[in-house]
Amino acid sequence: MLDIRIIGLGKMGLNLAYNLLDHGYKVSGFDQNSGIKNEFEENGGQFYSSFDALMEDKKRSSVIWLMLPAGEITNNQVTSCVQAMNQGDILVDGGNSKFTDSQKNGEKAKEQGVYFFDVGTSGGTSGAREGACMMIGGDAEKFEEIRPLFEALCVKDGYFYCGPVGSGHYLKMIHNGIEYGMMQAIGEGFNLIHHGEYDYDLAGVAKVFNNGSVIRSWLMGLTEDLLQEDPDLKDIEGVIPSSGEGKWTAEEMLRQELSAPVITQALLARYASVDEEKYGEKVVASLRNQFGGHKVSKK
């Protein structure tokens, strides 16, 4: 059985660890939040208080699995890992890294004789716990050795070997761009229904949409759940953070000189939602007043 060591026991990493433990794997882990130690060990894991301790006690032919925020944190951790790993070990980045970063990290690993896999992970925390969807890039021959790992972690037909390093996170990037567009369409549609002339039970609308209709989906099911709890969403602030993948998808569209207007517009809607100053809108309102005498709303 493979020796699995997870760095980053946040919501995704911890649920992934429990999924592996359920399938009989021995799982060790490290996270800066030592407050999860008791829970993790009560569920069968072995917690290490530092990266050095985790790596010093590592067996040969180990799998180190990163579940960390994309960017500098992951890239620095890859550098630290490959310096401490043995030739033939496997390093997995299961976070949402940009595919170009994964290509560079793959080269770092290769220089040390370490096999690097970039794994795009979808399905949220429930997927990580009960059965995920994973898109995997890396060495094809080495992948066959760890295929059982993905068979354990994922739902039936829920993993896909994509090709060389970078291809897993590239596919996850496009997946998340599609996700942006789908969520934006649901939001816009329910906004029209909410403001329309009929007093619909919005949770009931989501329910019927999700049973037999063309637009049935997990996202629609989640829409039903949230509207059951709070139909007016009065406790929710309409700010939509953007974690990066939508932007990278739009950049890839421009690089290839292709068209992806729905994904791009969904990204721009997210940017607009976090703009509390609304300076550009103030300029437009003032210009309308200047040339046409249109009223300007004042605070």
* Residues marked as catalytic: 172, 179
> What are the φ/ψ torsions at residue 115 (nearest 5 degrees)?
-85, 125
CB 121 within 8 A of CB 12: yes
Sheet holding 115-122, edge to edge: 46-48, 26-30, 3-7, 62-66, 90-93, 115-122, 132-137, 154-163
Q: Which amino acid is at 206?
A: A
Give the burial string for 18-31 (b: 16+ CB within 10 Å, else e): bbbbeeebebbbbb
- CA dist 129 and 22 (Å) reads 9
- CA dist 27 and 47 (Å) reads 9
The rounded radius of gyration (Å) of the Cα atoms in the chain is: 23
- CA dist 171 and 193 (Å) reads 33
158 by Cβ neighbours in 10 Å (0-12 / 13-18 / 19+) ranks as middle
- CA dist 162 and 298 (Å) reads 54
* Number of neighbouring beta carbons within 10 Å of residue 10: 17
CB 236 within 8 A of CB 250: no
Beta bridge partners of 50: none
